[in-house]
Amino acid sequence: MELRKHLRRLIIGIILIFLIGTAGLVGWANLSAQEATERAVTVLHDNGVQLEDGRLVFQASSPTDRGLIYYPGGLVDPEAYAVTAQGIADAGYLVVIPKMPLNLAFLGINRADGIRTDHPEIESWVVGGHSLGGAMAAEYAKNNEDSLDGLIMFASYPANYNDFVDFSIPIMLIIGSRDPGATKQEAFYEAIADSAMLYVIEGGNHRQYADYSFQKGDGVASISAAEQQDQIIAATVKFLERLD
C-alpha cells in the first residue's frame, strides 16, 4: 500500500511538471512571437482578411486555378506577411498562410493538407515559407512531391540539401544579400543550381520579408521593407507564371 501511495504521488508529480512545463512553453511562445506592425495590419483590414480556422486566406481578385501555401517564420505572427501575400493575391493567385502551433512550423509541417482539401478549386499548388517556415515547407514538398507544382524558399534552406538534388518540381530561392543566412542559402542553391531558380535582393535582410519589429542578429538592410517586399512579390509572381 505504501509503495502504491509513493508511486501515485510520483506519477501525479510528473504530470504536474509536464503541465507546468507545457503551460510555460505556450506562454513563452506567445510572448516571444513577433507581432505584425501597423503596415501589415492595415492591409489585412483594408482587404477584410481575418484569421479563420487557423489560417489567413488572401483571395485573388481575378482568380486562377493556382495557389500558394506560405509557412511563416519561427515565432512570427502570420499576419506580418500580409503585404507580400496580398500583393501575390492581387496578381491572381490564392495565398493561404496557416498559423502554426506555438508559432513554430516544425509543429505543423502538414498544415498544408487541410488547406488543399478546403480549396478544391485550386488545381495547382506551390508551397513555400520564410526562414524556419521555408525549411518545413521543403519537408512537406519532399513528402508530397507528386502532388505539388513548385517550392519557394524565402530566406531559407532545408536540413538536407541532397534531398533536393534533381527534385522533380521547380524550386526558387529568394535571398537577401544582407541576410546573415545568405551564405547557407547560396550553398543550397549551388547544390541544386541545375534545376532551380535564384533571385537575389540586393540590400535586403532577413526581417523585411515580413512586417515585424525585431530580428536578433539580422543584417542592416540598405533598402526599405516596401522595396524588399515589392521585389519578393514580383519574383514570386514571375515564378508562378512560369509554371503555366
**CATH assignment of the domain containing 169:** 3.40.50.1820
Q: Are residues 73 and 116 in the same domain?
A: yes
Q: Are residues 49 and 18 in the same domain?
A: no
- The 94-98 sheet, strands edge to edge: 55-58, 94-98, 66-71, 124-130, 150-154, 171-176, 196-201
Q: Are residues 221 and 129 in the same domain?
A: yes
Q: Domain of 47?
A: 36-242
pLDDT band for position 137 (cuts 50, 70, 90): very high
Q: CA–CA separation, 4 vs 41, rounded Å?
A: 56
Find the angle CA(184)-CA(154)-CA(105) to the nearest 5 degrees: 95
SS3 86: helix
Q: Are residues 18 and 104 in the same domain?
A: no
Q: Are residues 179 and 109 in the same domain?
A: yes
Q: Is the pLDDT of residue 26 over 50?
A: no
Q: Are residues 161 and 227 in the same domain?
A: yes
* Confidence (pLDDT) at 243: 87
Q: List, for residues 46-65, the tens digit of each pLDDT value.
A: 999 999 999 999 999 888 89
Q: How many domains does the chain have?
A: 2
Q: Are residues 10 and 108 in the same domain?
A: no
Whole-prediction pTM value?
Answer: 0.87
Query: What is the DSSP annotation of 188-229?
Result: HHHHHGGGEEEEEETT--SGGGS-BS--TTPPPPSS-HHHHH
Q: Are residues 28 and 53 in the same domain?
A: no
Q: Are residues 25 and 103 in the same domain?
A: no
Q: Are residues 72 and 175 in the same domain?
A: yes
Q: Are residues 45 and 154 in the same domain?
A: yes
Q: CA–CA separation, 191 vs 186, rounded Å?
A: 9
Q: Are residues 15 and 136 in the same domain?
A: no
171 touches 151 (CB < 8 A): yes
* Confidence (pLDDT) at 32: 66
pLDDT band for position 20 (cuts 50, 70, 90): very low
